[in-house]
Structure 1
Amino acid sequence: MSDNTMSRRLLLQAGAAATVSTMMTAQPAGAAPKKCATVNGLPVPRAWRAVPFSLDEVDLAPSVFTEKRDRMLAYARAYPADRVLSNFRAAAGLDTLGAAPPGGWDDATGNLRGHYSGHFLSMLAQAWAGTGEKVFKDRLDQIVTGLKQCQDAWTAQVGRPGTPPPPATWADGGLELSGDGQYVGLPDATIDGLTQATVVIRLRIDELRTWSRAFDFGVGPAVNMFLTIHDGTGPRFGITTSGSGGEQRIAATTPLPVGAWVTLAVTLDGRVGTLYVDGVAAGTNPAMTLTPADLGAPKNNWIGRSQYGDAGLKAVVGGFHLFDRALTAGELATATGNLAWYRFDETAGTTVADSSGRGWDAAVVTGTGGPPGPSHAGFLAAYPETQFIQLEQYVTYPAIWAPYYTCHKIMRGLLDAHTLGGNTTALTVARGMGEWVHSRLSRLPREQLDRMWSLYIAGEYGGMNEVMADLAALTGDRTFLTTAAYFDNTRLLADCAAGTDTLDGRHANQHIPQFLGYLRMFEQGAGPDYRAAAASFYDMVVPHRTYVHGGTGQGEVFRKRDVIAGSIVTSTNAETCAAYNMLKVARNLFALNPDARFFDYYERTLVNQILGSRRDADSTTDPLVTYMLPVGPGVRRGYGNIGTCCGGTGLENHTKYQDAVWFRSPGGDTLWVNLYIASTLRWAERGVTVTLAGDYPRSPAATLTVTGRGRFDLRLRVPAWARQDFTIKVNGRTTGVRVGDDGYAGIRRDWRTGDRVEVSFPFRLHVEQTIDDPSLQALLYGPLTLVAKSTASDHLRVAVDPTTAAPGPRPLTFTLGDVLFEPLLLGDDAGYHAYFRRT
């Protein structure tokens, strides 16, 4: 029987058998082979007190979860595998078969290319395990085969010498950009949250290339703001959140001079935009509604490079200023940027110093040069090994961009292809990558590793420690656990293990997945401090840095402990990637210590931020997921995000909704129901099937029906918001609800076919105050965060008791005066308020 004709259950069993076989061969000589239980193809750690079920053991029934999932599955079915492989083939010197890369940050030249492909593999593996549709398995196998071909091509080049990239050229009063892959990368968050701005740049243009950019800030061609030096007529500024069709423009009609210095400026005050050439207004648009804040949190902040892949800027850059207000024409000649000011008066190197006082230095990207071959067999990436080499030399972002983060996404996708998709080649490829990683990091002293991982963004490594621990578990090779420890973020790890909160100012998603890795390492026997650090870290985030919808972070960064009201004033809150990883940490902590508090958080984040992160529209060309899901006044959600980090995690968020509904005890005498998502559990070890019916979270009730026989303790989570109203009926008879210290109500009996458990958890309106300002509140209905539909830029003021809101025009909606409140899970792009001011 071929891989492509086997059922998903047989394939997953085959994958688990291969895992067990591999681990048996790794046992000490003379030891008896020991079989171990697996979940989703991975061995169950001995430390787990609660064990989730594999994705293929739980079938989702129609609900809002399947509605969101099915829209993502349509995208997965339609997206060509050759596009996923394009960047890998190009980097390895293979034929791309004419396929374009995904785009966005995963374009043909981006420093993060390859990461989206890893997420895509994980999505396909989850989709296959969850649905059994052959198209997902076929596409998964095709991509893995292509990646193996690329890895083999790289291995054939091991030790090949390369040529260095051309140096940055400093001459004639500035930085000379060649127009051939050279550009300047500005720091992350350069324009985040700006509702007014002025950008000034001084250039000496050497060639008037159509569409080449003086500057371009954005996340790809659909969401950006740019100034081109020539659109065929003259310079033009544009800003859009919906592609070229939604672009708001300011155009000039006279071409810029070549070979002479010229100063270009753009001012935006939220209503009027003006383009200046040498201090004279050359174009204006009095109907501007978009501002830099509407772009979310763009990472592609470039001078001389285009989001669209247009021709590079061939010019000398002699100065750049960024302001947080719209300057007058008279101020343009003398004012210096208060957010960024680059003089471009360096004479060597690739660092462009910031003179604004904020220390936001920029970096010159000088092109790739001729890269060397890999240093060790097993290397696989969608770009040469250059970024990894530069990281060891402490090159900063954005000249390089988180190479080990991208490595993790690829390895995670491969391991998921093996454990969920039954593809044994994927494990071979991932193991080769792990051996290559060990070869690079094992020769570095601890001090160098610490400095690498402390670098902002450049040192971000995702969950490399997690994937290495999983590789150790799958292969039985403890060397990979040693490799996982190379990724210890030693200072933060020690702080968290000691219960010392030092999260303020740290990039949220750079650090959250590290703690999932620490838990995996602990489960492999790496020591108790790893578990202690992860548990402590979780408690520092929940609730102390958590918004009403479960999200965390402002501008992608953790803010001060217990500062919620003080961090929601912009549109750059709650990166979706951070929620994705926090859910993984909460799920893993529950496995170690079954307590309802972890799933109170999990539920809040899942039914609000995650469900709300997928637009309620169909597309086979765009995942339509959010980067941020902000909570500031009058904010909107921006959907799309092909190629971004949140576009990648978004692929996975909506294809694994069943992975935390049910847990069991290792001995099989307890069954936990954590979420009341309509689904059917096939508990093969007990010969029992349990069907959970209902329309949660749109309905406050659920019914569980048992098929089969057996004695076990059924433990039902009693949500914190339903403690007073939670009721249980067993076979039509009301039973007393005794909530244990763990937050669950238990029913222990001999179950038999036809037994029914009816659970009611009535929704009530209730408010939640922000920790640091009780007058700033949010309205919830049961687990659902309700948002006020309004584009007002100031907090709405509510004088009456919000819990007296009247029923609205549709189910689950309410009105207070003329303001409509709707669940955040409704995926639209209308303006809303997650918080209001109680007066």
Structure 2
Amino acid sequence: MSDNALTRRGLLLGTAAAGAALAVPGPAAAGAKKRKLVVNGLPVPRSWRAAPFSLNRVDLAPSVFTEKRDRILAYARAYPADRILANFRAAAGLDTLGAQPPGGWDDATGNLRGHYSGHFLSMLAQAWAGTGEAVFKEKADAIVTGLQQCQDAWAEQVGLPGTPPPPATWADGGLELSGDGQYVGLPDATVDGLTAATIRIRLKISELRTWSRAFDFGVGPAVNMFLTIHDGTGPRFAITTSGSGGEQRIPVSAPLPVGEWVDLAVTLDGQVGTLYVNGVAAGTNPAMTLTPAALGAPKNNWIGRSQYGDAGLKAVVDEFHLFDRALTAAEITTATGNLAWYRFDETTGTAVADSSGRSWDAAVVTGAGGAPGPSHAGFLAAYPETQFIQLEQYVTYPAIWAPYYTCHKIMRGLLDAHTLTGNATALDVARGMGEWVHSRLSKLPREQLDRMWALYIAGEYGGMNEVMADLATLTGDRTFLATAAYFDNTKLLADCAADTDTLDGRHANQHIPQFLGYLRMYEQGAARDYRAAAENFYDMVVPHRTYVHGGTGQGEVFRKRDVIAGSIVTSTNAETCAAYNMLKVARNLFALKPDARFFDYYERTLVNQILGSKRDADSTTDPLVTYMVPVGPGQRRGYGNIGTCCGGTGLENHTKYQDAVYFRTPDDDVLYVNLYLPSTLRWTERKVTIVQSGDFPRTPSSTLTITGHARFELRLRVPSWARQDFKFKINGKATRVRVSENGYASVERSWRTGDKVEVSFPYRLHVESTIDDPTLQALVYGPIALVAKSASTTPVEIAGDPATVAVPGDRPLTFTAGGVTFEPFFLGDTAPYHAYFRRTA
């Protein structure tokens, strides 16, 4: 990296801070007024006892972290800015310049479109701060300019009248889909984890449209399963995890009748798939290997709509059934779905009741209609204001899909572009959005807000309270802090403040970022309960709902406290977004109260789930990141995820590895080394540079070399897994290790150029038992979770303690025990594995 690049980044960060009436950080002169410490363009709160360094102060040295990062940077360089802007331009009535939207959930019609663009903008800002490469700032600036143009176009439409969407048509014994943007959305987790299934639908086709779907479940064109009523010859079922070229198909050569009731069913048992027409087996495939479980956690669960954007289904739908087993031919037309059963016997409205007993209700999406112009200037989204209006009317998911969540991603991206690249326009656009949010929510009573935020998925708002608190800081306008409080999730906030654990059954990532927002609000003078709630919430998740790789949640949902073994037999553990946000909460809690326990968790999650969430392969067209990182027996990681929530957070995860390696006290008299990542720190306030060399986590040691002259206390985190073996030398001389109550070994001295601190933390094999089943265990090597490579779908069994019987393998960091090879979790491949094994003796 050139000195010019470093100077340019430093200047831009200083400009961002100055534009927000913030002081540029610098050493406090004797007797002078203390300067305000600024990190990544935001002032350090007075309540912080430790602060990280800005991203542009820490450079990563070659390691597994740079290997993962560089693959994401290649994607960031290649991806066109116009694609990121396509949905925004289309919604605002501007020319899309021929660009196609990203796809996935960020397709041209999806109810979450725009969220991926916000993450992409954050990634670019982080990439610029971390590397100084002009391409990242140029692309970020182009996106900000495009978003401003869209915001201006929306402003010209404020108050314009619109037309309501067409109503759902209930006629002729069912739901009549028009084929023009109407479909039925089924809930999340509808087919999650199923290794055997039957899907049955009864319908009357009005028009035999090629490729229109009876049903389609997936996350986009590459990962889905669908039944088309006509592929040019007849109906076809297909399932794939690698696009159309990887489809496993069940075709039928005869076309379906038009204008007559027809019963279609597909049975899957992992080996044989059969397609039935009117109860008769019309096609079969005896070589099926894919099941719904292979799809991960699809949220695009539709009747009448295609992942590929094909023609909509024009038909009357009478019944839909979903089973968790393959029915026999005798049962196929008479059994009723035990997982979902929609009778379509409603006469009005858009709700479709589930008769299976699980209350797995669906919703009719009837189309947007002619939406009215925005209610207030400053509105910016990749779709009209309709979803926000419908949320205030308590319309449920999937008819709408988390509009304020998407709003948060866009605003966060804009603020990151401002604070990390110095783009002043980005702050103007974000401020306009904040004013629009305040104009809507300030008019609503507390009871209405509480009911909105309690809605599953529809009421998910990401970190809107966090971004509003940051906006208040950057603009000096305290109105935005009041706006942040409108997002209080009152009941859960009160429960957590009182240390009452009510997390069971709650959507994990719907709630985790709320607590980061509460901390931001507390840091700006809000009630102490906000901090208490966040601290207690963190302790409810870590370790009580945390897997060996640091992840949390089953099927995106928090399960009962201390139920680990009881929640792993699934393909949908540990949503990557949840880990991304839990790391942010841990980092913020450390700033308020420096304690090694927060970085014991941070290290575990970073080294295992986050590193493992990036595939070890190159692509400039796909980020190749995970949605879920499952821990069940014989599971595989699915990489890709353009346009999904975890595809978005995945862009950010791998461009900010350096953001928590080093912390310092606000007086710049103590330096914390929290992570042993090879890196260079420029501590300009003390005129000191520290180079940390090594190859963590591949090697169990690190050396810190100091350039410059300064007196300060160096605090080295002593990992919980290395308490007995942690050692360090100063200039070759062994130093006695005294570990403080907060988990750090420290030494204070006057440091001089050439001083070296050699840190050793030898790895040992150890096992960790699940809280609820001592015989279900994980093998860990120092900070590295090891996975048993096996395709078995029942837990691998090992007699004896593998920590003592395991022998080193042929490759570094690998071991063999019980005839099974154990490898590091951070290796990003698609081979089946076991995060846990069954100990039999």
Q: Deviation per CA, 1:561-596, whole angstroms, max 9, x where unpaired?
A: 000000001111000000000000000000000000
Distance of 1:380 and 1:333 partners within structure 2: 49
Map of 2:17 onto structure 1: 16
Name the CA distance, whole Å, in 2 between partners of 1:549 and 1:631: 8
Q: Please state how far the C-alpha of 1:13 moved relative to its aligned partner.
A: 1.3
1:352 paired with 2:352, answer yes
Match of 1:739 in 2: 739
What is aligned with 1:484? 484
2:328 pairs with 1:328: yes
Aligned partner of 1:809 in structure 2 is 810
1:830 corresponds to: 831
1:76-135 Cα shifts (integer Å, max 9, x gaps): 000000000000000000000000000000000000000000000000000000000000
How far apart are residue 36 of structure 1 and its match? 2.7
SS in 2 for 1:474: helix
Query: Which amino acid letter does the alignment assign opposite residue 825 of structure 2?
Result: L
Q: Secondary structure at the match of 2:810?
A: coil
**Cα distance, 1:34–1:83 mapped onto 2, change above 3 Å:** farther
Total equivalences in the alignment: 829
Q: Which amino acid aligns with 1:805?
A: A
CA distance in 2, matches of 1:36, 1:115: 33
Contact 2:13 2:420 in 1 (8 A): yes
Deviation at 1:9, TM superposition (A): 1.5
Does residue 51 in structure 1 map to residue 36 in structure 2?
A: no
- What secondary structure, in the 3-state scheme, does the structure 2 residue paired with 1:435 have? helix
Query: 2:819 is matched with which residue?
Result: 818
Q: 1:5 to 1:613 in 2, by over 3 A?
A: closer
CA contact (8 A) 2:296 2:571 kept: yes
- Normalised by the size of structure 2, how large is the TM-score? 0.98
- Residue type of the partner of 2:195? T
**How far, CA to CA, are the matches of 1:547 and 1:282 in structure 2?**
44
* 2:28 aligned residue: none
Q: Is contact 2:188–2:301 with CA below 8 Å preserved after alignment? A: yes
Alignment of 1:430-449 (within 5 A): 430-449=430-449
Aligned equivalent of 2:652: 652
Distance in 1 (alpha carbons) for counterparts of 2:372 and 2:593: 48
2-side partners of 1:817 and 1:778: how far apart?
14
SS in 1 for 2:363: strand
Secondary structure of the structure 2 residue equivalent to 1:237: strand
Structure 2 counterpart of 1:186: 186
Question: How far has the Cα of 1:5 moved from its partner?
Answer: 12
Give the Å deviation of 1:817. 3.6
Are 1:768 and 2:750 an aligned pair? no
Separation in 1, partners of 2:590, 2:338: 47
Separation of aligned partners in 1, 2:189 and 2:267: 19
Q: Distance in 2 between matches of 1:704 and 1:812?
A: 24
Q: Whole-Å Cα distance in 2 between the matches of residues 34 and 473 of structure 1?
A: 19
3-state SS, counterpart of residue 649 of structure 1: helix
> Aligned to 2:452, what secondary structure does the other structure show?
helix
Structure-2 separation of matches of 1:21 and 1:284: 68
Q: Give the match's secondary structure for 2:421.
A: coil
SS of equivalent residue, structure 1 residue 605: helix
Query: How far does residue 21 in structure 1 lie from its aligned partner after superposition?
Result: 5.6
One-letter identity of the residue aligned with 1:108: A
Structure 2 partner of 1:159 = 159
* Structure-1 residue corresponding to 2:29: none
Return the alpha-carbon distance in structure 2 between the equivalents of residues 333 and 618 of structure 1: 48
1:679 aligns with 2:679: yes
Task: Tell whether the 8 Å contact from 1:4 to 1:137 is kept in structure 2 after alignment.
Answer: no
- Tell me the secondary structure at the aligned position of residue 607 of structure 1: helix
AA partner of residue 18 (structure 2): A
Instruction: Output one character per residue of 1:750-778: Cα deviation in whole Å (capped at 9) or x when no partner.
Output: 11111000000000100000000000000
Please give the per-residue CA displacement for 1:334-362, whole angstroms capped at 9, x wherever unaligned.
10000000000011100011100011110
The separation in 2 between residues aligned to 1:6 and 1:686, in whole angstroms, is 18
Paired residue secondary structure (2:681): strand
* 2:308 paired residue number: 308
The one-letter amino acid of 1:488's match is: D
Q: CA deviation at 1:684?
A: 0.6
1:180-217 deviation per Cα after TM superposition (whole angstroms, max 9, x unaligned): 00000001111111111000000100000000000000
- Once the two structures are TM-superposed, the CA of residue 6 in structure 1 deviates from its matched residue by 7.7
Distance 1:537 1:21 in 2: 32
Q: Distance in 2 between matches of 1:4 and 1:759?
A: 32
Cross-structure match for 2:98:
98
Match of 2:405 in 1: 405
Aligned to 2:254: 254
Correspondence for 2:616 = 616
Q: Residue 175 of structure 1 contacts residue 344 of structure 1 at CA under 8 Å; is this kept in 2?
A: yes
Task: Give CA deviations for 1:604-637 in whole Å, capped at 9, x if unaligned.
Answer: 0000000000000000000000000000000000
Query: By how many angstroms is 1:527 displaced?
Result: 1.1
Q: 1:56 to 1:795 in 2, by over 3 A?
A: same
Residues in 2 aligned to 1:281 and 1:66: alpha-carbon distance in whole angstroms? 53
Letter in 2 for 1:154: W
Q: Which runs of 5+ in 1 are unaligned?
A: 24-32
Would you say the 8 A contact 2:273–2:284 is kept in 1?
yes
**RMSD, aligned α-carbons:** 1.3
Equivalent position SS for 2:20: helix
Q: Which residue in the other structure is 1:596 paired with?
A: 596
1:20 Cα deviation from its structure 2 partner: 2.0
Q: Do 1:22 and 1:476's aligned partners in 2 also have CA atoms closer than 8 Å? A: no
Structure 2 gaps of 5+ residues are 25-32
Post-superposition shift, 1:10? 1.1
Query: For 1:460-499, what per-residue CA distance to the aligned partner results, in whole angstroms no more than 9, with x for missing partners?
Result: 0000000000000111110000000000000000000000
Determine the C-alpha separation between the residues in 1 that align with 2:15 and 2:168.
54
Structure 1 position 199 matched with structure 2 position 199: yes
Supply the AA of the counterpart residue of 1:384: P
How far off is 1:332 after superposition? 1.2
| AA at the equivalent of 1:809 | D
Contact 1:164 1:371 in 2 (8 A): yes
Q: Counterpart amino acid of 2:368?
A: T
Residue 132 of structure 2 aligns with which residue? Answer: 132
Instruction: Look up the match of 2:606.
Output: 606
Greater mean deviation of Cα atoms: 489-498 or 37-46: 37-46
Whether 2:423 is the aligned partner of 1:423: answer: yes
Partner in structure 2 of residue 533 of structure 1: 533
1:469-508 map, 5 Å: 469-508=469-508
Q: Secondary structure at the match of 2:695?
A: coil
Write the distance in 1 (CA, Å) between the matches of 2:451 and 2:818.
56
CA distance in 2: counterparts of 1:424 and 1:538, whole angstroms: 35
Report Cα offsets for 1:320-341 as digits up to 9, x if no partner.
0000000011101210000000
Q: Tell me how far apart the structure 1 counterparts of residues 752 and 762 of structure 2 sit (CA, whole Å).
A: 28
CA distance in 1: counterparts of 2:230 and 2:337, whole angstroms: 25
Show the 5 A alignment for 1:550-589. Answer: 550-589=550-589
Note the C-alpha offset of 1:34: 9.7
Using the alignment, how far apart are the partners of 1:287 and 1:802 within structure 2?
A: 37
CA–CA separation in structure 2 for the residues paired with 1:333 and 1:295: 26
Partner of 1:26: none
Task: State the Cα distance separating 1:246 from its structure 2 match.
Answer: 1.1
State whether structure 2 residue 692 is matched by structure 1 residue 692. yes
Q: Is the 8 A contact 2:6 2:132 kept in 1?
A: no
Question: Residue 28 of structure 1 corresponds to which residue in structure 2?
Answer: none
| Map of 1:757 onto structure 2 | 757
Counterpart for residue 271 of structure 1 = 271
Q: In the alignment, which residue of structure 2 is the partner of 1:234?
A: 234
Q: Structure 1 residues 741, 174: CA separation in 2 closer, same or farther (over 3 Å shift)?
A: same
- Distance of 2:563 and 2:515 partners within structure 1: 22
**Aligned equivalents of 1:34, 1:483: Cα separation in 2:** 31
What letter matches 1:51 in structure 2? A
State the match for 2:778 in structure 1. 778
Q: Which amino acid aligns with 1:627?
A: Y
- Hey, what's the Cα distance between the residues in 1 that align with 2:9 and 2:89? 29
Q: Distance in 1 between matches of 2:81 and 2:456?
A: 33
Deviation at 1:22, TM superposition (A): 10
Cα distance in 1 for residues equivalent to 2:489 and 2:136: 37
Distance 1:631 1:266 in 2: 29
Q: Which deviations, in whole Å up to 9, do the C-alpha atoms of 1:390-437 show, x marking residues without a partner? A: 000000000000000000000000000000011000000000000000
Q: Aligned equivalents of 2:726 and 2:43: distance in 1?
A: 36
- Is the 2:202–2:263 Cα contact (8 Å) retained in structure 1? yes
Any idea what SS the aligned residue of 1:619 has? coil
Which residue does the alignment assign to 1:210? 210
The residue identity in structure 1 corresponding to 2:740 is G
Q: Which letter does structure 2 place at the counterpart of 1:301?
A: N
Aligned amino acid, residue 291 of structure 2? T
Q: More deviation in 10-19 or 739-748?
A: 10-19
Which amino acid is the alignment partner of residue 209 of structure 2?
R
The one-letter amino acid paired with 2:633 is P
Aligned to 2:27: none
Contact 1:597 1:743 in 2 (8 A): yes
